[in-house]
Structure 1
Amino acid sequence: MKNKIYQCVLTLVFGLLATQISAQTYPSKPISLVVPQTAGGTNDIVARLVAPAFGEAIGASVVVENRPGAGGNIGTQSVARSAKDGYTLLLTINSAQAINPALYKNPGFDPINDFVPLYYIGATPYVLVTPPGSPYKTLADVVAAAKKKPGELSYASAGNGTISHLLGAMLNTSASIEMQHIPYKGVAPAINDVLGGQVPLAFASLPSALNYIKAGKLQAIAISSAKRSSAAPEIPTIAETYPDCVGEVWVAMFAPMGVSAEVIKKVQTAMEKVMTRPDVREKLTAQGLDLSPVPINRLGALLKDELAKWVKIVKASGAQLD
């Protein structure tokens, strides 16, 4: 009996030592930064701007991995089920983390209990865009056309239940119009079809559309933030006409629940260094991100607030996916 107790104690001690050593040596191999959406979207752009600086700050190579599918559920699930060692992290947006639980009967993850909030990076609005030469120059033009022929004017989104979809539903309600929603598998193919003239309008995140707007390949009609963006102050907001039609996408980093406190601290400290670098901040703001900080201890509360907000909007829109 004494030998068994002794062996149990040794096992416990060695286990604790192994955990401490692992935390002290972290990271000792590359870190996977999972983006649960396709390339070209907001968090993919942010991930590829942040990853090199994050790697330098934490002392390891950081590999961005796109794992799209089911509106972000597949990549998010994969991180929730990954090893709790800090080598697989999630860089996601609020549409996946805060909207999908209301949209899908079983998204395959619990946004509160399956993840540890690590770091809030920033937020950006969506922009309603149309091709150059389009008859829709202003939001008033869009609303007038939609009222003239209800259900005929269509808009593209990054997919069912995304913020770009729900913003169209919100505008329908606010303006008492009926635009037809056309979902795509990501923002890039939606923009491509608008560029090609297959769809007259699209809601796209500002980072994903800004270069096209600056190059004159897309015409911006209005953005979805409460105030105009410093990256494109010439674009009016939808809220200037319809004050209740506001929605932004924010980007944040999460770890699977169960990662040690020591590893979490190292990741957060590294991200603090990243987000104080002028070159990183300049690149992010140039893409249209508002870098107003959300304290680490407030990110969990922000997520809960967003869950409550979007469940109401999803119900009002009638959107539901299996």
Structure 2
Amino acid sequence: MRKVALLATALAMVTGSALAADMPVKALKAPPPPAFDPWDVAFGAAVMNDYIFRGVTQSNHQPSVAAYLEPRYNVTKDLQLYIGTSIESISFANRPAAEVDIYGGIRPTFGAFAFDIGVWGYLYPGGQCADNTLTVVGGVAVPGGGVCPVSTTTIFLANGNVMKKDVSFYEVYGKVNYTINENWQVGANEYYTPSFLNSGAWGNYASLTAKYTAPSTTFGSSGVGMYVSGEFGRQWFGTTDAFYAVAAFPNGIHYADYNTWNIGIGFTYKVFTLDLRYSDTDLNKGDCNAFTGAFNGTGTTNVTPINPTGVGSNWCGAAGIAKLSFDLTAVTNLK
């Protein structure tokens, strides 16, 4: 009798285990994926000891500040539309209040290739016509009457240079960046304008870039990142209109084409970047003066076909740039 009871107990345990295994288990519901928000906005600001644009100072080798705002719309994770505006403090011969940029374009990505195609407008509000002639009006010598209309608001440049009141212009551009691996990137850029600085001379700029980003463990767990980057570019020009003519070229001058290059090292921490860079060009001081119309150009020995006065400018020479900036996006940094 005892054996029968033990056998019944064992059968009950086996049967119970089998039934338990066959019972359906209610699966836990997976959390819904985060909703795709296509809108984003990037913004930031910078302070630098010199504002260099394609090897040429825009701030007379003096400190400059900048800020930008860029709304973005992500059609998909691989296609972004954007518009933006930025402002930089500058120092030109015609003394505009600032450089105000307005731009927009599209950024498609195909695997390791990232493209950027758009239009960039450079606006220089508040400029005045810069002349090298004084005209007597009512017994008073006032600037103007040479290439600028006679006006009490015209700027007189004693070094013989001139500059239009409005030098605003636009460029169309295309960029491509190729990510080789998590450390290396290379790229190419192309910009074209029908009238660089509203001079009447077309401009074409092309460059190659490279960037090495150090492994995130380079500085341990400090959160500090580092990169090294460089660029080599060439700027081509057409012929200006008659405003910038000289005796040998009464219809306008052909700005000198030039090469420019820069190399630097940067350090990042959270949203901040410190970039230390060397920049230079192969423009001589005479052709640089003809191109920039620098208000502080000096000398008489820098004679070139397009710069017969011999005035020279150092605005296109070697420069060291230290730039501290911060950059944020609403999706990444403010949520």
The structure with the greater share of residues assigned to helix is: 1
Instruction: Report the TM-score, using the length of structure 2 for normalisation.
Output: 0.21
The structure with the greater share of residues assigned to strand is: 2
Larger Rg, first or second structure (1 or 2):
2
Larger relative contact order, structure 1 or 2 (CA cutoff 8 Å, min sep 6): 1
